[in-house]
């Protein structure tokens, strides 16, 4: 496939080299368009050596071949990494003042962008609005991640790691080009807007149940899979409410964010949002129990060294309640994170849980000390309401999210 990689002028341009290399190693024909500013960070020979093609920068070179049209028409996929706030603003407005923005306007290929900028720039209302416009136009936005920025400060705005960008971009390319080989419903290039007009409510992360002002009972859910579902739903045109309990990743721009701490807060938030929801995906790890009473002062160690007993009371089962309530046609999806190593036993556990919860679909994934919760990828089995397997998927959490939405959208 022909992939055009646009590199714009941010320090993360050095990481674009890894993105280009990832595509080349997978056998793609990569053509780099670097802006003048990008070439202040990384030199032309580096891009040419890694991409194995001459790079393109100037709109006024090779005018006789109308290069922006030629490159734009030949691209199967355009990936812009890093995408600066300036380029994002130009793309949102449809400006065309350099070779890259001209090429984007010519092309009908899917476009993936990996923003990179300081936190303040990413959170600026102008950038938020521009990103929302690009999402509406079906651009796929990968990242940004949170962490150390260029200076001594840290926060959200770091470009995603090259491997994550390459994986997300190739999954977009695969979906736009050929039917997927995995089991279950597949989706074609028309699908990106298939959730347009739908309100999707996603819960993500893990609740924390306080014991005293400084301690809680919690779990290791990072919220990555739930956030990926929210992002994938946005990419497909949905209006998204993300109910987030202590997520470790940045929520996607464009989603309405409701932050909650405990299971009872999550219950309130999801019940409010459910009223207008068409689809509810309960990806959050909700505590089944909470301390019967919350101490107002820090619990002290006793002099007797006697064991400390904490009484727990059961939390409401939000998923079961939502499923039992009047549905008005809304689709409800639950998650089951299980440590069971045997696949048949895992399936049985999932089927039993589905019967208890009464939801339309259940997504089963195996979790353990090092799998599931905090990892970037996932492996899932999706059951329908009769307990039959409707889909199996594995891969990065964004592509798994899309497979889950494929099933829901095909309903
Ligand atoms: O029973 P278990 O916690 O394994 O069920 C997991 C599913 O049920 C998830 O979709 C989770 O969001 C939901 N859940 C819930 N309320 C609870 C516990 C779990 O909605 N109290």
3-state secondary structure of 175: helix
pLDDT value, residue 366: 84
DSSP 274-320: HTT-SEEEE-SB--SEEESS--SSPPPPPTT-PPP---EEEPP-HHH
Statement: residue 363 has pLDDT above 70: yes
Considering just the CA atoms, what is the radius of gyration of the chain in Å? 23
Percent of the residues in the chain that have a pLDDT greater than 70, as a whole number: 93
Per DSSP, 64 falls in state G
Ligand 1: which of 221, 265, 317, 333 to mutate, judged by most atoms within 8 Å of the beta carbon? Answer: 317
Region 66-84: mean pLDDT is 88
Instruction: Report whether pLDDT(6) > 90.
Output: yes
Angle at 84 between CA 81 and CA 90, to 5 degrees: 110
Q: Is 365 known to be catalytic?
A: no
Closest CA to 199 of 274, 128, 270, 271: 274
150-154, 243-247, 254-258, 342-346: range with lowest mean pLDDT:
150-154
Stronger pLDDT, 196 or 59, i.e. the higher one? 196
Give the per-residue pLDDT at 180. Answer: 39
The protein residue whose alpha carbon is closest to atom 17 in ligand 1 is: 317
With 0.75 as the threshold, say if the pTM is over it: no
pLDDT tens column, 330-348? 999 999 999 998 999 999 9
Domains (range + CATH), the chain: 2-175 (3.40.50.1950), 199-290+304-410 (3.40.50.10300)
Residue 178 banded pLDDT, cuts 50, 70, 90: very low
282 lines ligand 1 (CB under 6 A): yes
Burial of 251 (0-12, 13-18, 19+ CB in 10 A): buried
pLDDT in tens, 112-150: 999 999 989 998 999 989 998 998 787 998 888 877 787
What is the model's pLDDT at position 98? 93
Q: How far is it, in rounded angstroms, from Cα 216 to Cα 210? A: 4
Beta-strand ranges (E) seen in 367-405 are 377-384, 389-396
pLDDT for residue 196 = 85
The residue contributing the CA closest to ligand 1 atom 9 is 335
pLDDT reported for residue 280: 98
For residue 167, count other CB atoms closer than 10 A to its CB. Answer: 20
Other beta carbons within 10 Å of 141: 24
């Amino acid at each position: 496939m022909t992939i055009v990689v646009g590199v714009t002028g941010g320090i993360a341009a050095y990481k674009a080299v890894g993105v280009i290399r990832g595509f080349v190693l997978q056998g793609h024909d990569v053509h780099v368009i670097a802006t003048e500013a990008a070439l202040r960070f990384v030199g032309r020979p580096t891009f040419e050596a890694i991409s194995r093609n001459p790079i393109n920068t100037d709109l006024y070179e090779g005018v006789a071949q109308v290069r922006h049209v030629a490159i734009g028409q030949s691209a199967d996929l355009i990936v812009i990494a890093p995408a600066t706030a300036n380029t994002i603003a130009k793309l949102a407005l449809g400006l065309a003042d350099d070779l890259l923005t001209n090429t984007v306007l010519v092309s009908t290929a899917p476009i993936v962008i990996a923003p990179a900028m300081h936190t303040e720039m990413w959170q600026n209302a102008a950038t938020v609005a521009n990103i929302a416009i690009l999402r509406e136009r079906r651009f796929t936005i990968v990242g940004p991640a949170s962490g150390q920025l260029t200076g001594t400060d840290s926060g959200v705005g770091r470009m995603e790691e090259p491997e994550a960008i390459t994986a997300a971009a190739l999954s977009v390319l695969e979906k736009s080009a050929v039917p997927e080989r995995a089991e279950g419903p597949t989706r074609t290039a028309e699908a990106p807007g298939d959730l347009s007009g739908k309100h999707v409510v996603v819960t993500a992360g893990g609740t924390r149940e306080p014991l005293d002002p400084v301690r809680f009972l919690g779990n290791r859910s990072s919220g990555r899979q739930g956030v990926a579902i929210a992002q994938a739903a946005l990419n497909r045109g949905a209006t998204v409410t993300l109910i987030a309990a202590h997520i470790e990743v940045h929520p996607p721009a464009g989603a309405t964010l409701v932050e909650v701490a405990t299971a009872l807060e999550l219950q309130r938030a999801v019940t409010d949002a459910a009223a207008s929801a068409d689809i509810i995906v309960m990806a959050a790890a909700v505590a089944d129990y909470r301390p019967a009473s919350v101490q107002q002062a820090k619990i002290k160690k006793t002099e007797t060294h006697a064991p400390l007993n904490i009484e727990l009371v059961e939390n409401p089962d939000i998923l079961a309640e939502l499923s039992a309530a009047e549905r008005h046609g809304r689709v409800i999806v639950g998650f089951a994170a299980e440590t069971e190593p045997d696949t048949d036993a895992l399936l049985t556990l999932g089927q039993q849980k589905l019967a208890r919860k009464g939801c339309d679909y259940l997504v089963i994934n195996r979790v353990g000390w090092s799998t599931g919760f905090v990892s970037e990828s996932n492996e899932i089995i999706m059951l329908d309401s009769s307990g039959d397997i409707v889909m199996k998927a594995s891969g990065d959490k964004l592509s798994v999210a899309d497979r889950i939405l494929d099933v829901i959208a095909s309903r």
